[in-house]
Structure 1
Amino acid sequence: MAQANLPGSLPFFFRSRIVRGLASACLFAAGTAATSHHVYGQGGFTLPSNSVARGPSTAETPSASQGFAPRAAGPTAANTPPSLQTPPQTTANRNALPAGGAAPTGQLSGGGQLPREAGQEHRVYNISPYTGYLTKHDRPHQAIVDWIVRETGTDVWHTEPFGFMSADRDELKVYHTNEMHQVIGGIVERFVAGDKEPQVMNLRLMTVGNPNWRSNAHMLMQHVNVQSPGLQAWLLTKENAALVMNMLRSRTDVREVQAVDLITNNGQTEKLASTRGRNYVLNVKPSPANWPPYEPETGEIQEGFQIEVSPLLSVDGRTLDCVINANIDQVDKFVPVELDLPLPNNQVHRTKIEVPQLVSWRLHERFRWPSDMVLLLSCGVVASPERPQSSLPLFNLSSITGTTAGRADALMFVEFRGRASDNLTTTPLVPQIGSRVSAPNRGRY
């Protein structure tokens, strides 16, 4: 050990006491170093100078990102009052509403595992054998999801037991009970194993002025129960349907509005529409040019009919499920309302606005019938989907009186004609769709 440089003027007694003190200090430092080396060898790491002991363990204190905040050197946790200790973060206080009113992020339940209290199973269905044929369709798999929801209802996907469904072009992923998978498997099979060729649905829309046509056709038709109020439905063989059609065409109050062959793939939805706009005076507002003092503000109402048809064949092709969504709107007349508006010279400007009187009819129903029969629907005596126009505009009384010929028994014949390749027809295969801008509402179910 090196000798300490001590002043020579100190007495020998003091110098010997100082040398012995320095020697003791060196021995204590050496022992401390040996002890620290022993802990490192056992634990594999050194204790940091700012660590806080947590019981008998000598492990390093986790950082704040691991749930504990480091604390400066000082009293140990055992000697620190509880009010000064940093509590560990738990799931409860991690998901508490933070300061500032921010929305909670939700709790992680079940360790991140999906609930299985009802024996739910996750299954993946291969739907590419169906969607692979529909290369011109944007989202062909959406039809499968729509028909599953029509079959199961929407409540089973938003209530207990927990389940979900997701689809893309190749796969349908479903998490639900075994009973629900049996239903879904039957629907998927009708798409995957069914006919992939385009099919023909023949639609004929007719109006009859008097509903007494039923007197002669009653024995040729089989009545079908429906849910929509005011709607009647019958099933006819193709031979009887031809007889009823001939009887109707022989009447003078019958008008054939539309006859078209819709080309559709199995399960997909096709639309048929015929609408036209009718203008009317919606409001009167001050003129920016100050003369004339007021100017009319016009509005437009679309009248006519819109029909959506979504057919789904069984695997053997003997049964047809079809969802029909029909909307008929007609302006019965415009009711005039007189307005007296003030003028700057204390006079009155007299004008009028128009209030439309509408007659509408709605149908959204699902039917199932043998594919070799014809479905006949009657709306009852409702707004006529086709307003007749006068061949001579000068004698068009509707434009003078503001009324329309408004009531008729609307009939719709729906017939499945099989594959498009087996049908030769002269009617347009692709109907023209009206340009009416509709609200962003899917309304599929």
Structure 2
Amino acid sequence: MPDSFQSQPTMAQANLLGSFPKSVRSRIFRGIASACLLTAGVAIACEPLAAQSFSLPSNSVARGPSTSPGNTPDSNSQGFAPRTPAPNAANTPPSLQTPPSSGNRGSATNALPSSGAASGQLSAGGQLPREAGQEHRVYNLSPYTGYLTKHDRPHQAVVDWIVRETGTDVWHTEPFGFMSADRDELKVYHTNEMHQVIAGIVERFVAGDKEPQVMNLRLMTVSNPNWRSNAHMLMQHVNVQSPGLQAWLLTKENAALVMNTLRSRTDVREVHAVDLIMNNGQTEKLASTRGRNYVLNVKPSPAHWPPYEPETGEIQEGFQIEVSPLLSVDGRTLDCVIKADIDQVDKFVPVELDLPLPNNQVHRTKIEVPQLVSWRLHERFRWPSDMVLLLSCGVVASPERNQSMVPLLNLSSITGTTAGRSDALMFVEFRGRASDNLTTTPLVPQIGTRVSAPNRGRY
């Protein structure tokens, strides 16, 4: 027996044992000896395990309340408290490690720790990169936006024109740069060369004319494009990028001659003539659309008679034009972004359907498939402000569908066809300040009533 398990009885214990009979004392001594031998065997068996220095797995639990100060066991833990992970948890076998939580990733308590690549790394001590000599400059926009009290976001026009001038790639590729604007300031971080371009655009807003300007738009259609033969020598051709588009510059005197020549033709129709009152750099819209209904589908009738009922659809037909002009500081040059969308239903193609009936007969009906003709223009032009820009969309879908004076004689409603093709012409003329163009007819912007898509598509 090891010495650690040997002990001498005290005087009180000896006196107590002496009071028992001899046979009883011998039984007590034999029981004590057996207990000591069992305890010694357990201690000897545990010595090799202690030498291996294995730490407990991190998901092990210890019975009883936690011994850390201020920590009270949970009432639902039933006496079990989680044991803190061991410092050398890397030696824990994988089968004993705590698996990752599969709870809601959106929860802050169950979210998995993200890697450095996904969460982003703090580079250069949190400083902005300057490998290309970038500079942070703040431009004051209040001299321009202070006049536009009725506009919700007048500074957005400054951002739009900067992106039109610089393109979008310079803000999403190297060298690093950013741009942010509010009603009072424009904050830009980029190279010195880029700041020179931005300063020129901002100057056209803050140092240009603050008064409302007048842009005259005149939209006409010509059935035959041979009007060019008489007007060719009066026009100066301009190169454009949009396919099928032609553009010319005319003096105001020549523009009046061309317009009078067109009005003398029988195949010319003036669709719209309007003066748009616009602030420098802002965007105004001119729209004329109407819906055309058609049979989109046939579905079973909930009343069971008639057995089937038509489901109708609607297509918006007409044109939408957006104009955004920007004057130079001296007012001699005009940059203008013109966006036009023309949609026309050429005809509705009927499709016959044979639908079954409960009495084994066939119900014959038809649906309609629209045949659309559309045309798109999105171009930026620059010309002297004392000249007139003339655009020809080519022989495309007519922006306006002719209506019969007598509704009963409107054959298009019977045949499902429209007026065909025409050469759409647009005259764009800058007329200066609104205060210098006093007329008896109020000059108001023409805004389309159709709800546009969420995507602005500015660029």
TM-score (norm 2): 0.75
Q: Work out whether 1:113 is the aligned partner of 2:124.
A: no
SS for the counterpart of 1:236 is strand
CA drift of 1:433 comes to 2.6
Q: Work out whether 1:124 is the aligned partner of 2:128.
A: no
Which residue of 202, 213, 223 maps to 1:188? 202
CA drift of 1:401 comes to 0.9
Q: Work out whether 1:172 is the aligned partner of 2:186.
A: yes
243-252 vs 429-438, greater mean Cα deviation: 429-438
SS for the counterpart of 1:114 is coil
Q: 1:21-420 alignment to 2 at 5 Å?
A: 104-420=118-434
Rounded Cα–Cα distance in structure 2 between residues aligned with 1:81 and 1:133: 69
Q: Which amino acid aligns with 2:146?
A: G
Aligned length: 357
Q: Which amino acid aligns with 2:213?
A: Q
- Quickly say closer, same or farther: Cα 1:120–1:395, change in 2 above 3 A: same
Partner of 2:7: none
Structure 2 unaligned segments of length 5 or more: list them: 1-83, 92-108
CA drift of 1:81 comes to 7.9
Task: Write out the 4+ residue segments of structure 1 that deviate beyond 4 Å after TM superposition.
Answer: 80-84, 98-103
- Quickly say closer, same or farther: Cα 1:285–1:83, change in 2 above 3 A: closer
CA drift of 1:289 comes to 1.1
Partner of 1:4: none
SS for the counterpart of 2:119 is coil
For residues 9-39 of structure 1, give each alpha carbon's deviation from its aligned partner in whole angstroms, at most 9, with x where no partner exists. xxxxxxxxxxxxxxxxxxxxxxxxxxxxxxx
CA drift of 1:438 comes to 2.2
CA drift of 1:429 comes to 1.9
Rounded Cα–Cα distance in structure 2 between residues aligned with 1:431 and 1:269: 10
For residues 378-415 of structure 1, give each alpha carbon's deviation from its aligned partner in whole angstroms, at most 9, with x where no partner exists. 00000000101000111111111111112100000000
- Quickly say closer, same or farther: Cα 1:406–1:102, change in 2 above 3 A: farther
CA drift of 1:442 comes to 0.8
Partners of 1:273 and 1:307 within 8 A in 2:
yes
CA drift of 1:120 comes to 0.3
Partner of 2:41: none
Partners of 1:206 and 1:255 within 8 A in 2:
yes
Q: Which amino acid aligns with 1:218?
A: H
Rounded Cα–Cα distance in structure 2 between residues aligned with 1:417 and 1:368: 16
Rounded Cα–Cα distance in structure 1 between residues aligned with 2:440 and 2:340: 25
For residues 409-439 of structure 1, give each alpha carbon's deviation from its aligned partner in whole angstroms, at most 9, with x where no partner exists. 0000000000000002344522443322222
Rounded Cα–Cα distance in structure 2 between residues aligned with 1:158 and 1:125: 21
Q: Which amino acid aligns with 1:134?
A: L
- Quickly say closer, same or farther: Cα 1:385–1:82, change in 2 above 3 A: closer
Rounded Cα–Cα distance in structure 1 between residues aligned with 2:438 and 2:357: 68
CA drift of 1:99 comes to 8.5
- Quickly say closer, same or farther: Cα 1:316–1:290, change in 2 above 3 A: same
CA drift of 1:321 comes to 0.1
CA drift of 1:83 comes to 6.2
- Quickly say closer, same or farther: Cα 1:431–1:169, change in 2 above 3 A: closer
Rounded Cα–Cα distance in structure 1 between residues aligned with 2:317 and 2:443: 24
Rounded Cα–Cα distance in structure 2 between residues aligned with 1:305 and 1:253: 20
Q: Work out whether 1:434 is the aligned partner of 2:431.
A: no
For residues 298-322 of structure 1, give each alpha carbon's deviation from its aligned partner in whole angstroms, at most 9, with x where no partner exists. 0000001100000000000000000
Q: Which amino acid aligns with 2:255?
A: A
